[in-house]
Amino acid sequence: MDPQQQAIAEEFDRYRESYDDAVNRAIAFSGQKVESFTRAKAHDLLRTIASHFGSQRELNLLDVGCGIGNYHPFLTPVVGSVSAVDVSSACIAKAKERNPVVSYSVYDGDRLPYPDEKFDVAFCVCVIHHVPPGRWQQFVNEMCRVTRAGGLIVVYEHNPAHPLTRKVVHDCAFDRDAVLLTMAQSRALLEGAGCADVTTRSILTLPPMAGLAERLDGLFARLPFGSQYRALGRVT
């Protein structure tokens, strides 16, 4: 493994048991917990893929940089299958304990351990800002390689223009080396990987409360005020 990537993997290995606590400490001022943000983004992902494919039931999803598998309890009851990969072997071990139906792998951060066009959807949540910037394009290229033509790439990232997001990143113990990327940079990465119909939209402009608040959040999608954003592209 590349030494920089190895250091990142080892850093996250240390959070195998305390990942949620570290995030919860950084977002404590908001009165929310990591689970609320996870649920809101998992629901956004499910709505996004349902509107593209018509249904989620038969779809094979890949979660790149899955950490301890926080998203998987929201996805596995609804989609065909979930595979997930991370550079942190300790996080993958924890994720396996929590989600026995998910197919997990550890990899070197370079080439994803799957054949071309295996998945319908590849997504990543708050991962690219931990990848060394010189490797960002390769990271997205790999997501595209393992996704079939007509499939989707979905990237969730922090909005660097949002002051409270910057505070969270500053206060979060494992974000010391994070390099946040703008919506325009994410868009360029997806386009650079050959995706078509690339779009970005703000998410989490409103606090992550279930039900109506999640739906109302969509009203602010075109404004750059969300604490995070979603970039979406279709593999060609």
Ligand X SMILES: C[S@@+](CC[C@H](N)C(=O)[O-])C[C@H]1O[C@@H](n2cnc3c(N)ncnc32)[C@H](O)[C@@H]1O
- Binding residues for ligand X, rule: CB under 6 A, are 5, 8-9, 12, 64-67, 70, 86-88, 91, 109, 125-127, 130-131, 139
Nearer to ligand X, 109 or 151 (CB): 109
C-beta of residue 174 within 8 angstroms of C-beta of residue 22 = yes
Tokens of 36: 């609320």
**Strand 119-125 relative to strand 147-158, pairing:** parallel
Nearer to ligand X, 127 or 152 (CB): 127
Nearer to ligand X, 154 or 183 (CB): 154
Nearer to ligand X, 101 or 216 (CB): 101
Give me the least distance between CB of 179 and ligand X, in Å please. 12
Give me the least distance between CB of 64 and ligand X, in Å please. 5
The residue with its CB nearest to ligand X is: 67
C-beta of residue 202 within 8 angstroms of C-beta of residue 224 = yes
**In this structure, which amino acid lies at residue 56?**
Q
Task: Find, among 97, 226, 126, 99, the residue nearest to 186 by Cα.
Answer: 126
Interatomic CA distance for residues 182 and 231, integer angstroms: 10
Give me the least distance between CB of 85 and ligand X, in Å please. 6
Give me the least distance between CB of 10 and ligand X, in Å please. 9
Interatomic CA distance for residues 11 and 178, integer angstroms: 12
Task: Find, among 176, 204, 165, the residue nearest to 7 by Cα.
Answer: 176
Nearer to ligand X, 131 or 198 (CB): 131
Nearer to ligand X, 159 or 223 (CB): 159
Give me the least distance between CB of 54 and ligand X, in Å please. 26
Interatomic CA distance for residues 198 and 140, integer angstroms: 13
SS3 string, 183-207, reads HHHHHHHHHHCCCEEEEEEEECCCC
Q: Looking up tokens 């606090």, which residue turns up?
A: 207
Give me the least distance between CB of 44 and ligand X, in Å please. 13
